[in-house]
Amino acid sequence: MTGPRIFLLSPASCGGERARVLLREEASFPLAVELRERGAPLGEVFAFLSGRYFRGKLAYARVFARPPARVPGVLVITPTRGLADPGIRVTRDDLLEFAGIDVASGGERYRAPLLRDGTALAEAAGPQCEVVLLGSIATGKYLDVLQQLLGERLRFPLEFVGRGDMSRGGLLLRCVEEGRELTYGAVPPGRLRGTRPPKLPPRA
């Protein structure tokens, strides 16, 4: 058993076709109705928007998180609300707000809440806790703030290098089924891009 570990999950895209389906006023499937009438859990909403990738991240993080006392084991990076518990309820208006922010541009509406919550997390988690980012490290949209706050405590799954989102999602879900944890490494200086690994072998 290693030391304490928590996970940060990158957000789903809130401006694509699946978001438009979820936000339609006439949509009658359960998640759309729940979102419209009383709000729906952030994790479920992002899992719908992102599909297998976010489902894999959320399932994996919930299984393998080992947080310190009084620190959440799983937090989601949001476009305007900093770090959020995947169980909090978000509304249709919240989703429209998220869709209006370009995370990649690193504007203050995205960076300021993330800096606020990341600072609090870095202090609460303590110097011995690893923080694993389940998300892209190929650009600075998450790293620019997180590395500044967490330094060498920030880790990422080495098996992610070179994989696309769908492949990462499949890998994470398979790890959950097998009870197998990935290998984490320090985020290297600069951006990391790697050779695409072989496809996952078919299930037996």
DSSP state of 182: P
The mean pLDDT of 10-14, rounded to a whole number, is 92
Beta strands in 47-86 (DSSP E): 74-77, 83-84
Crossing angle of the two packed helices 52-64 and 42-50, in degrees rounded to 10: 140
170 touches 115 (CB < 8 A): no
Res 163: pLDDT = 87
8 A C-beta contact, residue 90 and residue 147 = no
Instruction: Tell me what the mean pLDDT of segment 190-197 comes to.
Output: 52
| Residues in Cβ contact with 177 at an 8 Å cutoff, skipping those fewer than 6 apart | none
Residue whose tokens read 């978000």: 90
- 């919550």: which residue's tokens? 117
Give how far Cα 67 sits from Cα of 8, 179, 196, Å: 12, 18, 32
The pTM score is 0.90
Residue 3 banded pLDDT, cuts 50, 70, 90: confident
Rounded mean pLDDT of the chain?
Answer: 90
Task: Name the residue among 72, 66, 27, 65 with its Cα closest to residue 48.
Answer: 27
pLDDT of 165 > 80? The answer is yes
Residue 137 has pLDDT above 70, yes or no: yes
**More confident of the two residues 30 and 202:** 30
Nearest residue to 132 (alpha-carbon basis) of 89, 175, 81: 175
Q: What is the pLDDT of residue 15?
A: 87
Question: What's the pLDDT tens digit per position in 15-40?
Answer: 889 999 999 999 999 999 999 999 99
- List the one residue out of 193, 176, 55, 186 whose CA is nearest residue 133: 186
Domain ranges of the chain: 5-186
Q: What pLDDT digit, counting tens, does each position of 166-184 carry?
A: 999 999 999 999 999 999 9
pLDDT single digits (tens) 114-135: 999 999 999 999 999 999 999 9
Is the pLDDT assigned to residue 147 strictly greater than 80? yes
Band of pLDDT at residue 102, cut at 50, 70 and 90 = confident
* Contact call for residues 40 and 34 (beta carbons, < 8 A): yes
pLDDT > 90? residue 193: no
Longest dimension (CA), the chain: 50
Nearest residue to 97 (alpha-carbon basis) of 105, 109, 107: 109
Question: Cα Rg for the chain, rounded, in angstroms?
Answer: 17
